[in-house]
């Protein structure tokens, strides 16, 4: 019970503020209208049982006038039902998409901020944060949509239980059960039978379906892993094709899919148990109310219309009491998705809390606004705390060109520490303003947009002058791409590594940073062309400080000094 309470509290803390968000007035109106329309649906259901009783009474009495009257009322019920149901759908879907949009924006902003999307991959296995794409795209959808669907059906069932319990109680009257040696009067016996039947069914249904939660969680996890593997294969399709790794990828992807099949079989076994129960339950629910109400009709205590009304009231009441059983699978799916979203959010919160708390095992970043970069007692460590670098004490002045040397791979981590992506280590780095820094990774990120937008990234197309973009392409020797600036394509798959790295230089010429960090971003070029690109950068940006990690020996002469990491 404590775990369930904690689960609901966590979910409400995460998603509940939607009703107090920016558009809270419209959200609350939609919610209120949904409640009102649900009450109207119950009112219609109650009225239909009364109409049904009047119809059968008219048929029993062979009254044509009574039949015509009921036909007229049916037309009124028909029109009202369509109006209420359609309006209910519209308000419900507004709430569904609004809540999903709000929560998706909230999680994406938390995930895609301050490098958390990168850092989360280095969290220990104690945090369940794999496949964030599936959690954001699919699990948030299920968490919000199913929460509203389940909440509505629960509210509807509670209203239906209250309404039809009274009707069934009145129709049951007072029955005396004579056992020969004693007679026991029972008031509302149909109500007690409905309650006993529903409770028994709920207990049996829960017992037969309790394996569904575990099976659903396992399947959703494997489905997400399969999607992630497919995305990774697509993202690296060129490398896979060049190295002829298709057979290995086929086996890896099919292996991931076979894992889904295994969980599918597990889920099928759980579904089979639920179906066995559901099939028998539906047949019993159809026949039981007629059988238990028929003795009073045969005895002449109630009319045929009252019998049919009691049957409908019995079925509605049992349906309301059976809400936990009927929604067991959906509850399992909803809870699994909520737990996956909560796990991702908790992992991101752990990152934010941990990295915002300065400690001796963390590199401290201070943005002093100074014109140089100062390193004071800086050490770079692995995510597990293993020391990877020397102790660095240095000052790199504006406009200085420094070559970073290391033998442990800590140079790239040093760049990430400067970018506030790698907190593991110790010491202090004092930096100029963050917007003065520009990083060139080994391969520039080229979004699947127009080539124009890809080169300008992360600036918008509107903030880039086209003539400057064309000039930058010509200066880096990629004039043949000028005609393709407005073409939308998967550029990482189309362009060679050399072309992509030249586009990285073109991007630098457009952004004109005060500090440039080059991490093997020109290593696909020939030694002569790499030096040419470095000279171009210096020519265009003579006051820019440059820190370079490169495996090209010819680039050493370009730099003024080296810094050992």
Sign of the alpha-carbon dihedral angle for 548, 519, 546, 360:
negative
Give this prediction's pTM.
Answer: 0.67
Q: Which residues contact 432 (CB under 8 A, 6 or more apart)?
A: 367, 368, 369, 370, 371, 372, 373, 514, 515
Q: Three-class SS of residue 175?
A: strand
Find out whether 426 and 363 touch, Cβ atoms under 8 Å: yes
- pLDDT, one tens digit per residue, over 51-105 is 888 888 888 888 888 889 989 988 999 999 999 999 999 999 999 999 999 999 9
Average pLDDT rounded to a whole number, residues 220-247: 83
pLDDT, averaged across the chain: 84
How many C-alpha atoms does 9 have within 13 Å on its Cβ side?
6
Q: Which structural domains are found in the chain, ordered by start?
A: 15-355 (1.20.1560.10), 364-564 (3.40.50.300)
Find out whether 347 and 120 touch, Cβ atoms under 8 Å: yes
Helix 189-209, helix 328-356: angle, nearest 10 = 60
- pLDDT, one tens digit per residue, over 358-405 is 555 688 888 877 788 999 999 988 877 788 888 889 999 988 999 988
Of the listed ranges 211-215, 395-399, 524-528, the one predicted with least confidence = 211-215
Which residues lie across from 488 on neighbouring strands? 450
Instruction: State the pLDDT at residue 33.
Output: 94
Beta strands 401-405; 425-431: pairing state? unpaired
Spatial separation of the C-alpha atoms in residues 300 and 128, rounded to whole Å:
65
Instruction: State the pLDDT at residue 509.
Output: 92
């Amino acid at each position: 019970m404590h775990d369930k309470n904690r689960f609901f509290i966590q979910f409400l803390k995460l998603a509940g503020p939607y009703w107090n968000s920016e558009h809270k007035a419209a959200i609350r109106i939609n919610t209120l209208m949904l409640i009102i329309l649900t009450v109207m649906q119950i009112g219609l259901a109650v009225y239909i049982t009364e109409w049904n009783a009047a119809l059968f009474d008219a048929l029993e009495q062979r009254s044509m006038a009574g039949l015509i009257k009921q036909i007229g009322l049916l037309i009124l019920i028909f029109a009202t039902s369509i109006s209420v149901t359609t309006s209910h759908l519209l308000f419900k879907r507004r709430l569904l998409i609004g809540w999903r949009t709000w929560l998706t924006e909230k999680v994406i902003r938390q995930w895609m901020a301050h490098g958390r999307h990168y850092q989360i991959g280095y969290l220990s296995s104690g945090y369940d944060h794999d496949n964030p794409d599936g959690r954001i795209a699919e699990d948030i959808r299920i968490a919000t949509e199913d929460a509203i669907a389940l909440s509505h059906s629960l509210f509807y069932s509670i209203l239906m239980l209250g309404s039809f319990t009274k009707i069934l109680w009145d129709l049951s009257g007072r029955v005396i059960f004579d056992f020969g040696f004693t007679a026991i009067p029972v008031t509302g016996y149909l109500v007690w039978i409905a309650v006993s039947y529903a409770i028994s069914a709920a207990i049996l249904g829960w017992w037969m379906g309790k394996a569904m939660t575990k099976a659903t969680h396992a399947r959703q996890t494997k489905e997400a892993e399969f999607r992630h593997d497919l995305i990774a294969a697509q993202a690296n399709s060129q490398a896979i094709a060049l190295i002829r790794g298709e057979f290995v990828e086929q086996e890896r992807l099919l292996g991931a899919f076979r894992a889904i099949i295994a969980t599918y079989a597990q889920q099928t076994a759980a579904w089979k148990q639920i179906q066995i129960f559901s099939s028998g339950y539906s047949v019993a629910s159809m026949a039981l109310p007629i059988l238990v109400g028929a003795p009073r009709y045969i005895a002449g205590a109630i009319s045929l219309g009252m019998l049919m009304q009691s049957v409908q009231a019995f079925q509605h009441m049992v349906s309301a009491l059976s809400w936990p059983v009927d929604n067991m699978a959906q509850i399992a799916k909803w809870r699994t998705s909520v737990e996956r979203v909560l796990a991702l959010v908790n992992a991101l919160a752990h990152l934010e809390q941990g990295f915002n708390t300065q400690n001796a095992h963390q590199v401290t970043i201070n943005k002093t606004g100074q014109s140089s970069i100062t390193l004071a007692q800086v050490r770079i460590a692995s995510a597990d705390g293993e020391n990877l670098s020397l102790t660095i004490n240095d000052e790199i002045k504006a406009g200085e060109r420094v070559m970073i040397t290391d033998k442990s791979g800590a140079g790239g981590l040093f760049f990430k520490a400067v970018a506030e992506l790698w907190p593991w280590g110790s010491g202090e780095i004092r930096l100029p303003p963050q917007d003065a820094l520009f990083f060139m990774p080994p391969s520039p990120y080229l979004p699947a947009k127009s080539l124009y937008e890809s080169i300008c990234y992360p600036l918008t197309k509107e903030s880039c002058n086209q003539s400057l973009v064309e000039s930058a392409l010509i200066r880096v020797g990629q004039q043949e791409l000028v005609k393709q600036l407005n073409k939308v394509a998967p550029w990482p798959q189309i362009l060679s590594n050399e072309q992509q790295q030249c586009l990285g230089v073109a991007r630098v010429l457009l952004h004109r940073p005060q500090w440039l960090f080059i991490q093997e971003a020109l290593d696909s070029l020939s030694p002569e062309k790499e030096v040419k690109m470095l000279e171009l950068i210096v020519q265009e940006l003579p006051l820019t400080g440059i820190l370079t990690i490169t495996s090209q020996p010819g680039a050493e002469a370009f730099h003024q000094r080296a810094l050992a990491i």
